Amino acid sequence: MTNFEDIEQLALKIRKYAVNMTSTGGSSHVGSILSIADLLAVLYGSVMNYKANEPNWHGRDRFILSKGHAGAGVYAALAESGFFSVDKLKTHCKDGSDLSGHVSHKGIPGVEFSTGSLGHGLPVATGMALAAKINKDKHLVYVLMSDGECDEGSNWEAALFASHHKLDNLVIIIDRNKLQSIQSTEETLGLEPFVDKWQAFSWNVIDIDGHDLAQLIKACDSKVDGKPLCIIANTIKGKGVSFMENQVLWHYRSPQGEELEAAMKELDNA
Amino acid sequence: MRDAFLKKITELAAIDKDVVLLTADLGFGVFENFESKFPGQYFNVGVAEQNMTGLAAGLALEGKKVITYSIGNFPTLRCLEQIRNDGCYHDLNITIVASGGGFSYGSLGMSHHATEDIAILRALPAMSVVAPGTVWEAGEATEALIKSNSVGYLRLDKTVADENSMQLFSLGGSIKYREGKDVTLLTTGGILRDAVQASELLQEQGIDAGVISMHSVKPIDKSAIATAANETGGIVTIEEHNLDGGLGSAVAEVCMDNCIAPKIFLRIGLNNRYSSVVGSQDYLKAHYEMDASTIVKRVLELF
């Protein structure tokens, strides 16, 4: 049985870490991390198979954060899941730290792949899924992408390949918060009709509320033989801190002073 | 050279099922036998080099020894960031193969002239850059790169030098084809043929020119450079490639870093331009002044 309370607690912890880490690290992208806290909590708290004490266990499900700028969320999820000490999180973005603002695998148990430049995660994950098919391995490969990064053509190259080769062991979750770097996705480079696009690429597409844990878990379990799975998780950028929600400002701004206090107070009372 | 590459990967794939060949829709009439012999070890990924390189990284992360294949600049410059971030930063076993170094596809135009690839890839840490000069070197380089467990670039040329060697091939090594005390011609790639021809023509003029194939531009054979500088009259580098950042630059770096001062130092190559003229590889080498007769002329001017 899925313990929703535990997943909710994990998501809340990721949110608190996100605010604190981007504050002490003076770093950007808190809104992008809050957007995916529930997705990360579902993956690490319920959906994925892994052994925290054996990060390279061959039977593990693979996970790539393609929107590498939300790396602090993955670091927090990994630390909370036992891959390394939560104390290490305090070094995020500090001089000499290996916890970079964009997710890096070097020295960090549990990080499968380093990203930061957008449009890299899906092609690499597609290669991992292809390898699993060749090797007849049963594990799955998950990629968490942003909607804005679907501007990158490399994703669509990989999308063609994955469906052509029937990689039904590949699952992408798109953080559809509809905000990118400067404006909304639709003002920048329209993605709609987004579901239709992925369906036209012959993917199995599921469109859900990305903050509804039950819907997320069900979507991850909705695989169709012979088709890669695309979960479009409709989310709110900055979710959980009211003044950050749907504000593109918080793609960049580091929470400090009264804003930090207000954000933490809101999360403490959640 | 491509045949030697194909023969070697066919041998390696037969004994190692982890050898996987990806092509970005090039190699018509080349890979059919490989594909039928080794299902699951060959994928035509379509005209999509960024995805090909990302796929290679994903496969290599799972233990595969991956070859990415295309022509000219397509498997290198088109997907440079994937090579850097996905391949090199993750220390993966990927061998990037470009058929058609320099002006190999001379008549196809500027888009197909690979004349900055060595410099650009040489700038990446955790990368090997190899441009063989003979068919034998191409086969040896293929095997060495696939077994090297890191990212490597293999630049295959349509021109080859018809030379034999009893020396051993090693990544970071070089092969000496002619001894010579007056000057040493250091070359990379199939233009070795022109250097050997030039050496023979220079002999008739009383100049004793040695010839060394610097098949590995990165890592580079520092001791061969030091010996050429210290024990012969000097160094002339020859490359079918832009002068900025190529073999000549790499050799100059070794000399300066080690306080080696050759009495003669000359770089022959493409002088900072794109070719808008088309023609055969030999025509373009002559046009851009790097063929055997130009090498002879430039060397004679030094004496």
pLDDT at position A270: 87
pLDDT at position B264: 95
Q: How far apart are CA A142 and CA A170, in angstroms?
A: 6
pLDDT at position A1: 62
| Total length of chain A | 270
Residues B92 and B208 in one domain: no
Q: How confident is the model at residue B266 (pLDDT cuts 50, 70, 90)?
A: very high
Q: How far apart are CA A188 and CA B290, in angstroms?
A: 49
- Residue A49, Cβ neighbours under 10 Å: how many? 11
Q: How far is A125 from chain B (nearest CA, A)?
A: 6
Q: How far apart are CA A247 and CA B248, in angstroms?
A: 53
Instruction: Indicate the helix (H) or strand (E) that contains B282.
Output: helix B281-287
% of chain A exceeding 70 in pLDDT: 100
Tell me if chain B has a CB within 8 Å of the CB of A161. yes
Of B54, B60, B61, which is closest to A158 when you measure between CB atoms? Answer: B54
Of A115, A116, A128, which is closest to B62 when you measure between CB atoms? Answer: A128
- Asked, for residue B134, whether it belongs to a domain, the answer is yes
pLDDT at A2 > cutoff 90: no
Task: Measure Cα distances from A72 to A40, A62, B163 in Å.
Answer: 11, 18, 57
Identify the CA nearest to B235 among candidates B189, B182, B197.
B182
pLDDT at A16 > cutoff 80: yes
Indicate yes or no: CB of B55 within 8 angstroms of CB of A117.
no
Number of domains in chain B: 2
Burial class, B29, CB count within 10 angstroms (exposed 0-12 / middle 13-18 / buried 19+): exposed
Peptide bond between residue B219 and the one before it cis (omega within 30 degrees of 0):
yes
Residues B114 and B191 in one domain: no
Residue where a domain stops, chosen among B122, B156, B190: B156
pLDDT at A15 > cutoff 90: yes
**Residue numbers of the domain that contains B62:** 2-156
Number of domains in chain A: 1
Mean pLDDT of the region A190-200:
98
- Asked, for residue B228, whether it belongs to a domain, the answer is yes
Residue where a domain stops, chosen among B110, B128, B156: B156
Residues B15 and B108 in one domain: yes
Query: In this predicted model, what pLDDT tens digit does every residue of B51-101 receive, in sequence order?
Result: 999 999 999 999 999 999 999 999 999 999 999 999 999 999 999 999 999
CATH classification of the domain holding B83: 3.40.50.970
Residues B255 and B197 in one domain: yes
pTM above 0.90, yes or no: yes
**Residue numbers of the domain that contains A206:** 4-268
CATH classification of the domain holding B237: 3.40.50.920
Residues B134 and B221 in one domain: no
Indicate yes or no: CB of B85 within 8 angstroms of CB of A119.
no
Residue where a domain stops, chosen among B109, B129, B156: B156
Identify the CA nearest to A170 among candidates A215, A230, A112.
A230
- Mean pLDDT, chain B, rounded, equals 97
Residues of A in contact with B81 (CB under 8 A): 117, 120
Query: In this predicted model, what pLDDT tens digit does every residue of B57-67 receive, in sequence order?
Result: 999 999 999 99
- Asked, for residue B163, whether it belongs to a domain, the answer is no
- Asked, for residue B162, whether it belongs to a domain, the answer is no
CATH classification of the domain holding A119: 3.40.50.970
Identify the CA nearest to A264 among candidates A4, A34, A69, A29.
A34
Residues of A in contact with B57 (CB under 8 A): 113, 123-124, 127
Residues B30 and B151 in one domain: yes
Reading across the β-sheet that carries B216-218, which strands appear in turn? B42-44, B19-23, B65-71, B94-99, B151-156, B127-130, B216-218
Determine the residue of chain B that is closest to A116 in CA distance.
Answer: B85
pLDDT at position A158: 98
| Phi and psi angles of residue B156, each rounded to the nearest 5 degrees, phi first | -95, 140
- Asked, for residue B169, whether it belongs to a domain, the answer is no
